[in-house]
Homo-oligomer: A and B are copies of this chain.
Amino acid sequence: MNMTPPRTRIQRKNRKTILDAALEVFSQHGFRGATLDQIATQSGLSKPNLLYYFPSKEVVHITLLSTLMETWLDPLREMDPDGDPVEEILAYVRRKLEMSRDFPRESRLFANEIVQGAPRMQTALATDLKGLVDDKAVVLRAWADAGKIAAVDPHHLIFSIWALTQHYADFDVQVQAVLGPDRDPYAEAEAFLRTLFTKLLAP
């Protein structure tokens, strides 16, 4: 059966169901820690049925990663070279933090993969990701050279945005454990990060 693109209504629905269940399970246990039975149970399908829609566990995982990679990079793509520099960067930070808040599973899926050496993403990192980041680094450097923002290394600026925003999704249990139950991590993080990047970027 050729699965690209899906033909029938039923195929579209079931593939979507499976990918959602797989996201839940993979993001919680990592590739190796997740089992087909868990994904099958989570999706409400039988294991053989799951393997009717995807040829193997690995293909499910890879499908998830490549599908979500696009979404994941969108906030950075939206950073407009013609906009106001500080505003654009702060907006990027805000969008990225919202993604951590609204899509923590996606964040953890990538975190799991990358912490373990990204065995199934190497090429995507070195091509798509590096390409986009290098592009935006040029923009950031131009802004710095024009005195619109402070002169900071563009790549490390981007790393700092990733690190600070994804931390709240990836290390959620730790954040919760340290802050206790009566606080709102994301609301506080938004204020904190706005302050941090405002101060960092002021020329």
A178 at the interface (CB under 8 A from B): yes
Residues of A within 8 A of B (CB): 28-33, 108, 111-112, 114-118, 122, 125-126, 129-130, 133-134, 150, 152-153, 155-160, 162-164, 166-168, 170-171, 173-175, 177-180, 188-189, 191-192, 195-196, 199-200, 202
Name which residue of chain B comes closest to A189, CB basis. B156
Q: Are A133 and B28 in contact (CB under 8 A)?
A: no
Query: Which of A32, A155, A178 has its CB near the most chain B CB atoms (within 10 A)?
Result: A178
Q: Are A177 and B129 in contact (CB under 8 A)?
A: yes
Known: A160-B192, A163-B167, A199-B199. A177 touches B116 (CB 8 A): no
Complex Cα spacing A111 to B116, Å: 10
Name which residue of chain B comes closest to A118, CB basis. B173
Known: A28-B117, A117-B173, A159-B189. 8 other contacts (CB 8 A): A29-B32, A30-B30, A115-B171, A129-B178, A152-B195, A159-B167, A163-B167, A195-B200
Task: Please indicate the chain B residues that have their CB under 8 angstroms from the CB of A112 in the complex.
Answer: 30, 112, 115-116
Q: Which 6 A-B pairs have the closest CB atoms?
A: A32-B33, A163-B167, A125-B177, A156-B192, A163-B163, A126-B177
Complex Cα spacing A189 to B160, Å: 10
Q: Which of B122, B133, B155, B199 contacts A200 (CB 8 A)?
A: B199
Task: Please indicate the chain B residues that have their CB under 8 angstroms from the CB of A117 in the complex.
Answer: 28, 173
Complex Cα spacing A155 to B183, Å: 11
Complex Cα spacing A126 to B175, Å: 10
Task: Please indicate the chain B residues that have their CB under 8 angstroms from the CB of A156 in the complex.
Answer: 188-189, 192
Task: Please indicate the chain B residues that have their CB under 8 angstroms from the CB of A31 in the complex.
Answer: 33
Q: Are A30 and B116 in contact (CB under 8 A)?
A: yes
Task: Please indicate the chain B residues that have their CB under 8 angstroms from the CB of A134 in the complex.
Answer: 178
Q: Are A177 and B130 in contact (CB under 8 A)?
A: yes
Q: Which of B33, B122, B125, B173 contacts A122 (CB 8 A)?
A: B173
Q: Are B192 and A114 in contact (CB under 8 A)?
A: no
